[in-house]
Amino acid sequence: MDPQEEYHENGFCVIKGLFCSSEIENLRAVLSIFHERWKKDNINFYNAKAVNSAYITDSKYLDDAQRLSLFRFICSQKILGIAEKIFPNKPAFMNTQLFFNPKDSQQKNYWHRDLQYNPVSVEEQKKLLVDVNVIHFRIPLQPEPGLEIIPGTHTRWDTEEEFSVRNEINGRQRFDNLSSAKHISLDVGDLLVFSANMVHRGLYGLDRFSFDILFCDATRELVQYAKPTCLPDGLLLEAIETPDLFVNTLELMDDFS
Ligand SMILES: O=C(O)CCC(=O)C(=O)O
C-alpha cells in the first residue's frame, strides 16, 4: 500500500528513513535553540507538566535566518509532496509544535482526539470528524517510543470504551490501556503522518524530541487558528523557493480579516 492509501484506510502512515542526517542536524540546530529559550521563559509550566511547546516559527525565540530554514523545510518537496497527496483538496499551514518528555517521569499520558478540545457538543464533534482534516507530520530528532493510535478512528466515532477513557467517565482514566491500540515507535529520519482527529496518545520515554508540523484543509474557518506571525512575509516569503503553501494560507487569512 502506498502512504496515501495507508493514511486514508488507517488514519496514519509511516515513511521510514525519509530524511537524511544533514536535514535532521539542520533542524536540530534551530529547534534546540528554540527549546532552550522557550524553557527559560516557561520554566514553571515546564517543571509542572509540559510535554510540548508550539508556535515554533514565530519570531519570539528565533531570528529570521533560523525561521527561514524551518519555512524551507516545511515547504520542501519531501513534506509537501506527501501532504498534497493526502489532503482531499489543498493543505494550508496551521502550526508547529515540539514534543518532549515531561519533567516528572511518572507523569501519565492521555488518550484524546484533538477535536475534543473545541468547545462544542459531542454531536458537533462527530460532524467535525467527517468535515475537517487536521494532520500532524511528526519528524523525530531522537529515537522515540512514538505514539499509540486506534487505527480507523479518523473516520469512525468511538466505541463506548474509547469514549469513556478519553473523557474520563464511567470510572475510566484517560491513561488506561485500550485493547485496540497500535503502537508506532519512530527512529530518526522517519516521518509519521497521523490525523489529529483520531484517538491517540503520546508515549513518553527515551529522549524524545520531535518536531510536528500541522496542516489543515485550506478553508477560512480553519486557517483562523493559525497565528499570522508564525508565517513568513515580505523578504522571508521571497526567500522561499516554493512558497505556495504559505501564500495560499496568507490569502485565506486576509479573506477572513
Ligand atoms: O506525543 C505526544 O505527547 C502527544 C501527541 C499528540 O497527542 C498530538 O500531537 O495531538
pLDDT in tens, 89-139: 899 999 999 999 999 999 999 999 999 999 899 999 999 999 999 999 999
Strands of 12-15's sheet in order across: 12-15, 191-195, 134-140, 209-217, 91-100, 52-54
Q: How far does the centroid of ligand 1 lie from the alpha carbon of residue 253, in Å?
A: 26
Predicted confidence at residue 21, as pLDDT, reads 98
* Confidence tier at 257 by pLDDT (50, 70, 90): low
| Beta carbon of 168 within 6 Å of any ligand 1 atom | no
| Beta carbon of 138 within 6 Å of any ligand 1 atom | no
| Beta carbon of 140 within 6 Å of any ligand 1 atom | no
* Confidence tier at 254 by pLDDT (50, 70, 90): confident
User: Does residue 198 carry a pLDDT above 80?
Assistant: yes
Q: What is the CATH number of domain 3-256?
A: 2.60.120.620
Domains of the chain: which residue ranges? Answer: 3-256
Q: What percent of the chain has pLDDT over 70?
A: 99
CA distance 67 to 71: 6
What are the phi and psi torsion angles at 93 (to 5°)?
-85, 135
> Who's near 235: CB < 8 A, 6+ residues apart?
64
Nearest ligand 1 atom, CA 194: 9
Nearest ligand 1 atom, CA 109: 3
* Confidence tier at 41 by pLDDT (50, 70, 90): very high
Which one of 97, 107, 113, 136 would you pick to mutate in the ligand 1 pocket, going by the greatest count of ligand atoms within 8 A of its CB?
A: 136
Which of 36, 41, 34 minimizes the C-alpha distance to 56?
34
Q: How far does the centroid of ligand 1 lie from the alpha carbon of residue 63, in Å?
A: 27
| Beta carbon of 213 within 6 Å of any ligand 1 atom | no
Q: What's the whole-number mean pLDDT along residues 12-21? A: 98
Which set of grid coordinates corresponds to residue 54? 508550539
Q: How far does the centroid of ligand 1 lie from the alpha carbon of residue 162, in Å?
A: 17
Nearest CA to ligand 1 atom 4: 202
Nearest CA to ligand 1 atom 5: 202
**Pure H helices in the chain:** 3-10, 21-41, 43-48, 64-74, 77-86, 122-131, 160-167, 220-223, 234-238, 244-256
| Beta carbon of 11 within 6 Å of any ligand 1 atom | no
Nearest CA to ligand 1 atom 3: 202
| Beta carbon of 200 within 6 Å of any ligand 1 atom | yes
